Each structure stands twice: as C-alpha cells, then as structure tokens.
Amino acid sequence: MSAVELLGWLGALTATLLGLPQALRLMRTRNTEGLSLVAWQATLVINIGWTAHGIVIGQWNMIIPNSLAMSATFPILILMQRELGLNLFRVLLPGVIGGGAMLLVDLLAGSSAFGTVALIPALLANGGQSVALVRSPRVVGVSPGFLVTQVINQALWLGWALLLPDAGTTIAAIVTGCVAVFNLVWWLLRRFGLRAFGAGSVAAPSSASRISFDS
C-alpha cells in the first residue's frame, strides 16, 4: 500500500469515527452545554457534500467515511432537537440543501471551486463550535474525544491531499485544521478554569463540570 493510500484510509477511518464520541456522550448525558446546533447542521452539509465529491472523483476513502459519518451526525441532531425543543424538519433541512449545493458546484465548476465552497460549511461547523466554546457558561456537553479526533482527521487529510494531489481537499484541510486546533486548545482552557466570554457570570462548578477527559 502506498503512502497516499495509507493516509487516505487512515483519514477515512478517523472521519468515520469522528462524530461517534460526541454522539455517545450526548446519548449518555443528554447534556448539550457547549454544543453548537449550527455546527452540527453544517457537519451534515459536510457529510453529504464530501460523499458526493468522493463519488465525483472516484475515491472510496471519501465515499465510505462521509456516508457512514452521517450515522453519527443524524442522532446528534435528533438528540439536540429534542433537548432544545425544535422542529426536526427545520433542523435537518439546511444540511440537505447545503449538501446539494456543494454537489452542484463540484459538477459545474470543478474540484478547486468545490474546495473553496466547502470552506463555508467547514468554517460554520468549526467556527460555530468555537463560538459556543467561547460563550457557553459551561462546556461539559462537548466530547474531548471528538475534538482530538477532529484534529487528527484534518492532519491526515492534509497529508493525503498533498500527496495525491487534490487542491480542493488541501484548501479545506488547512483552514479546517487550524480551527479544529483552536477548538481543542480552547476546550482545555475552559475545562481548566477559563471563564466564558460574553455570556454573563458563570455559575459555580457542580459535580458535572469537574475536569473529565472521557469521550
């Protein structure tokens, strides 16, 4: 197996597992503190869009993980919808529309244009989570396993894209990876006592908010 194939399938494996730690944490705790609904709606856009891109360029290591990743994204969105009391159709619709739009760009304008457009949901997913980590009074609903896997996943895809090469994936992996690193670092700072910004005073920590590094 060549280096590009190895990185591609490692990227595929981590992409498949990416949402699993967050889904398990949410199912176990039913706690959405620190989670961003916009971020997970954008993640659904990413799942659909990159599955379609993998089909267009004939890369199974994109098709398989992104299609399987939806099996974690959907439960997360459904659980968040229930906890927040929102309409499920309205929660899922933006992801379906966004994924379709990414496919149209890929077919009509090519890989580089797709990679540039793919930055929009990627920034919404990671940037939305960044805002939630900065502003939420507590972040105990966020899985550290998810944040770590996200950083590893983007590093693997960047290496794969540079070796292939694929301009669309390179552009997306660099930008998304930088934001993913920020999210992990900021989560650590919050769990070690950094207070929220712009969300008012923070309540005294309870037993649920003690430092925990489980998934």
Lowest mean pLDDT among 20-24, 93-97, 124-128: 124-128
Under the banding of pLDDT at 50, 70 and 90, the label for residue 210 is very low
Give the alpha-carbon dihedral of 209, 71, 9, 21, to 10 degrees. 10
What would the pLDDT profile of 144-198 be if each residue is shown by its tens digit? 999 999 999 899 989 988 888 788 778 878 988 898 999 999 999 998 988 888 6
Specify if 43 maps to a domain. Answer: yes
Specify if 97 maps to a domain. Answer: yes
What is the 3-state secondary structure of 157-184? HHHHHHHCCCHHHHHHHHHHHHHHHHHH
Specify if 121 maps to a domain. Answer: yes
Widest CA span in the chain: 54
Specify if 204 maps to a domain. Answer: no
Phi-psi region of 111 (alpha: psi -120 to 50; beta: other; left: phi over 0): alpha
What would the pLDDT profile of 43-84 be if each residue is shown by its tens digit? 999 999 989 998 998 888 788 888 888 888 999 999 999 988
Domain range enclosing 88: 3-197
Query: Ranked by mean pLDDT, which of 3-17, 151-165, 198-212 comes out on top?
Result: 151-165
Specify if 210 maps to a domain. Answer: no
Q: What is the pTM of this model?
A: 0.76
What local confidence, expressed as pLDDT, does residue 31 receive? 87
What local confidence, expressed as pLDDT, does residue 207 receive? 36
The span from the CA of 141 to the CA of 132, in Å, is 11
Q: How many domains does the chain have?
A: 1
Average pLDDT for the chain: 84
Q: What average pLDDT does range 128-149 have in this prediction?
A: 91
Specify if 140 maps to a domain. Answer: yes
Specify if 193 maps to a domain. Answer: yes
* Res. 89: pLDDT tops 50: yes
CB-CB contact of 72 with 177 (8 Å): no
Greater confidence (180 vs 206) lies with 180
* Res. 203: pLDDT tops 50: no
Specify if 213 maps to a domain. Answer: no
What local confidence, expressed as pLDDT, does residue 134 receive? 92
